[in-house]
């Protein structure tokens, strides 16, 4: 099967929203994410339903069918593998790859993506810490604990980011917040929920609660 660029973009959007907010996915949520108008979304939903990629009831939102979910997962696999390629092989920074991968994910060729996967040595996570589905669509769930869920004195390793905007990622770079860093919460300011963190041997840094809610971590048991 082959789908158009627009159809693929819609499938991915529906998948992403369903993943975060659950089903059913509303027309306006899709319009919002895709920077388009609800009326346009409705038009496309009818086409996707026609092709049995989504289940759609007028006025009641949509959910992906098995086929639709499968295709969306493949798109995500492609997107994330290309991001790995751009960062690991071509030396891009993690804040520069999203838009290029948005284009590359539409390239049609099963073989291509399987060979790319092998070439990259079958990575399990992309440069933002998002899990990469395998050829069958299965993937290992990432730790879903946010830095904002932890308390004072707890230690953790940064394993992923929820927000992918380049300004946000550059901000993390400038503060030494890269995937894999080991951090400890020194203090949580009562006024606005900002966090003071210790990163390795550096001076402590201060981040807002809003930033903390964008960071996935794996907790390290505090020894002793």
Q: Under rule CB under 7 A, which residues in 28-87 are in contact with DNA?
A: 28, 36-47, 56, 58-61
Q: Interface with its own copies includes 104 (CB under 8 A)?
A: yes
Instruction: Tell me which stretch binds its own copies (CB under 8 A): 49-57, 86-94, 174-182, 190-198.
Output: 86-94
- Are 150 and 193 a contacting pair, CB within 8 Å? no
C-alpha–C-alpha distance, residues 180 and 158, integer Å: 5
Q: Interface with its own copies includes 122 (CB under 8 A)?
A: no
User: If you search the block for the tokens 């809610």, which residue do you land on?
Assistant: 213
> Sign of the C-alpha dihedral, residues 176, 177, 178, 184?
positive
Instruction: Tell me which stretch binds its own copies (CB under 8 A): 14-22, 62-70, 94-102, 162-170.
Output: 94-102
Cis peptide before 26 (omega within 30 of 0): no
User: If you search the block for the tokens 């080991």, which residue do you land on?
Assistant: 182
Burial of 128 (0-12, 13-18, 19+ CB in 10 A): buried
- Partner whose footprint covers residue 93, from DNA, its own copies, none (CB < 5 to 8 Å by kind): none
Query: Which of 27, 73, 74, 148 touches DNA by CB under 7 A?
Result: 27
- Of 6 and 100, the one with the shorter C-beta distance to DNA is 6
In 3-state terms, what secondary structure has residue 136?
A: coil
Which residues would be at the binding site for DNA (CB under 7 A)?
4-7, 9, 26-28, 36-47, 56, 58-61
Judged by the rule CB under 8 A, the positions of this chain that interact with its own copies are 86, 89-92, 96, 99-100, 103-104, 106-109, 111-112, 115-116, 119
């Amino acid at each position: 099967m082959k789908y158009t660029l627009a159809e693929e973009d819609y499938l991915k959007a529906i998948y992403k929203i369903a993943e975060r907010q659950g089903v059913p996915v509303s027309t306006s949520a899709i319009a919002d994410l895709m920077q388009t108008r609800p009326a346009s979304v409705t038009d496309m939903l009818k086409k996707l339903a026609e092709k049995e990629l989504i289940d759609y009831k007028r006025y009641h939102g949509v959910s992906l069918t098995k086929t639709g979910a499968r295709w969306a997962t493949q798109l995500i696999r492609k997107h994330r593998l290309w991001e790995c390629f751009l960062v690991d092989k071509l030396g891009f920074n993690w804040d520069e790859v999203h838009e290029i991968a948005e284009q590359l994910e539409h390239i049609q060729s099963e073989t291509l993506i399987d060979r790319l996967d092998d070439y990259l040595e079958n990575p399990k996570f992309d440069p933002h810490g998002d899990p990469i589905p395998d050829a069958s669509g299965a993937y290992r769930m990432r730790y879903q604990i946010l830095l904002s869920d932890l308390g004072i004195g707890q230690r953790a390793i940064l394993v992923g980011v929820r927000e992918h905007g380049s300004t946000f990622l550059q901000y993390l770079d400038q503060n030494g917040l890269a995937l894999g860093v080991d951090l400890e919460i020194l203090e949580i300011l009562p006024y606005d929920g900002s966090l003071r963190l210790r990163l390795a041997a550096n001076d402590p840094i201060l981040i807002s609660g809003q930033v903390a809610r964008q960071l996935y971590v794996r907790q390290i048991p505090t020894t002793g």
